[in-house]
């Protein structure tokens, strides 16, 4: 782990001065989005048929769905008859409906099993409606599945699975039946939201917009700006396009240290600063070796076998280093010092926690 940490620390040390000294501009469209101009999630329930014996068999909910499907096609199954459905599977269908999608356009769908089906390879989805969060039908899905996984089962019970054969995808597998109203062309005020809340960044976006279109933007909170744009879809769309391409210099992010407790990864952003502090790092290793000696009696003697304890204790202490930080030390100073100390990921986390406890680390620590 120490070998993996050292290149990471060196890399952070190399990029830290650049990140601190060189402010970079970003487009408005890269740091936020217009409210209402977004995709919507769709879900549905359907049946995949044509499987090679890898379906759900006689699951009750699949039987009910199959009866409903057959009834829509004019085929009535006799009461009490349970059809064998090894070649069919009950599935959930998910899709994203992009903003401004119009009826007749096509979108991709993902199909996933919800029962005991082992594979969807070779299957075809029967026509199924896709619902939005309001319970309305927004698309209809149907088509042949493309499955990247493969599952094989032998008669003796042995199995071979490659990737995930229970999830498939249908490119352009659904047709849009209903458009989602966004109101961008008719509302008096259109709101624009930052992806991450920051009052200074919101103020800079407001100033850049008002410099180009005076009196257009005002800040509502740390995320939202209210924009008074000209009425009409054509003029409003042109103004929105110009606003999205404005260059903004976002505010520097808050000082933060991210620690992944599972992998030992530690990420320190460029805003981290240190107060005067000294760090000493060293290890004491105590090793105890047990080598018992066995004494055997002479042949045909009346003695007994005895075991004599034999313990060896050794102590080794690695060379200790002390790193001193001056007031306002930056990320590069911290990384250089920790790299010289040769700390492991676990030791690095302990050092950072101790620095924060002592009040020398001016950053928020987040353990994920």
pLDDT at position 343 over 90: no
Is residue 55 located within the same domain as residue 153? yes
Q: Which residue has the tokens 């401004």?
A: 100
The first and second tokens of residue 221, run together, are: 């909170």
Q: How far apart are CA 123 and CA 145, in angstroms?
A: 6
Sequence-distant (6+) residues with CB within 8 A of 76 are 70
Burial class (CB in 10 A: 0-12, 13-18, 19+), 35: buried
Mean pLDDT of all residues in 105-124: 88
143 shares a domain with 111? yes
Q: CA of 14: how far to CAs of 1, 251, 352, in Å?
A: 20, 22, 20
Contact 312, 291 (CB under 8 A): yes
**Residues 240 and 300 grouped into a single domain:** no
236 and 363 share one domain? no
Predicted confidence band of residue 11 (pLDDT cuts 50, 70, 90): very low
Q: Check whether residue 199 and residue 322 sit in a common domain.
A: no
DSSP state of 256: E
Domain finish residue from 248, 271, 298: 248
The answer on 349 and 286 residing in a single domain is: yes
The label of the residue with tokens 């650049």 reads 18
Task: Summarize pLDDT for 273-305 with one digit per residue, the tens.
Answer: 777 666 665 654 445 565 677 677 767 666 677
Mean pLDDT, the chain, integer: 75
Q: Contact, 195 vs 235, CB < 8 A?
A: no
Give the pLDDT of residue 230: 82
The structural domain count of the chain equals 3
Last residue of a domain, one of 176, 196, 223: 176
- Do 32 and 45 fall into the same domain? no
**Which of 228, 248, 268 is the C-terminal boundary of a domain?**
248
Contact 340, 258 (CB under 8 A): no
* Beta-bridge mates of residue 294: 307
My answer on whether 49 and 159 are in the same domain is: yes
User: What's the pTM?
Assistant: 0.62
pLDDT tens track for 257-277: 887 767 767 777 777 777 766
**DSSP helix/strand/coil, 300:** coil
| Range name among 6-20, 31-45, 115-129 with the lowest pLDDT average | 6-20
**Higher pLDDT residue, 243 or 116?**
243
Asked whether residue 232 falls in the same domain as residue 135, the answer is: no
87 DSSP 8-state letter: T
Provide φ and ψ at 50, rounded to 5°.
85, 15
The SS3 call for residue 346 is helix
Residues 275 and 190 in one domain: no
Same domain, yes or no: 12 and 111 = no
Residues 167 and 198 in one domain: no
What range defines the domain where residue 6 resides? 2-21+255-367
For 143-176, how does the pLDDT look when each residue is reduced to its tens digit (9 = 90+)? Answer: 999 888 666 666 656 666 667 788 899 999 999 9
């Amino acid at each position: 782990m120490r070998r993996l940490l050292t290149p990471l620390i060196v890399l952070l040390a190399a990029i830290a001065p650049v990140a601190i000294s060189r402010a970079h501009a970003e487009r408005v469209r890269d740091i936020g989005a217009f409210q209402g101009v977004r995709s919507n999630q769709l879900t549905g329930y359907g049946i995949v048929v044509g499987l090679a014996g890898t379906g759900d068999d006689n699951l009750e909910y699949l039987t009910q769905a199959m009866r409903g499907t057959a009834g829509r096609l004019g085929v009535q199954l006799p009461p009490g008859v349970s059809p064998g459905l090894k070649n069919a599977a009950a599935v959930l269908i998910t899709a994203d409906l992009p903003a401004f999608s119009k009826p007749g356009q096509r979108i991709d769908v993902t199909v996933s099993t919800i029962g005991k089906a082992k594979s969807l390879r070779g299957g075809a989805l029967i026509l199924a409606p896709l619902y939005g969060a309001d319970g309305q039908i927004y698309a209809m899905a149907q088509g042949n599945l493309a499955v990247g996984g493969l599952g094989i089962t032998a008669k003796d019970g042995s199995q071979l699975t490659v990737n995930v054969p229970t999830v498939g995808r249908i490119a352009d597998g659904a047709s849009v039946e209903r458009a989602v109203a966004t109101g961008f062309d008719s509302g008096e005020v259109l709101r624009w939201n930052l992806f991450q809340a920051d009052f200074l960044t919101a103020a800079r976006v407001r100033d850049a917009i008002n410099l180009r279109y005076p009196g257009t933007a005002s800040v509502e909170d740390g995320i939202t700006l209210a924009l008074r744009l000209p009425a009409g879809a054509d003029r409003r769309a042109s103004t929105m396009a110009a606003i999205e391409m404005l260059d903004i210099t976002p505010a520097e992010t808050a000082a933060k240290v991210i620690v992944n407790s599972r992998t030992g990864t530690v990420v320190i952003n460029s805003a981290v600063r240190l107060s005067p502090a000294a760090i000493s790092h060293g290890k004491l290793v105590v090793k105890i070796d047990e080598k018992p000696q066995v004494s055997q009696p002479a042949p045909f003697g009346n003695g007994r076998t005895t075991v004599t304890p034999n313990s060896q204790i050794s102590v080794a202490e690695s060379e200790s280093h002390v790193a001193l930080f001056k007031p306002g030390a930056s990320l590069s100073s911290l990384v250089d010092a920790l790299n010289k100390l040769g700390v492991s990921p676990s030791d690095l986390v302990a050092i950072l926690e101790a620095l924060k406890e002592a009040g020398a680390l001016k950053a928020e620590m987040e353990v994920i």
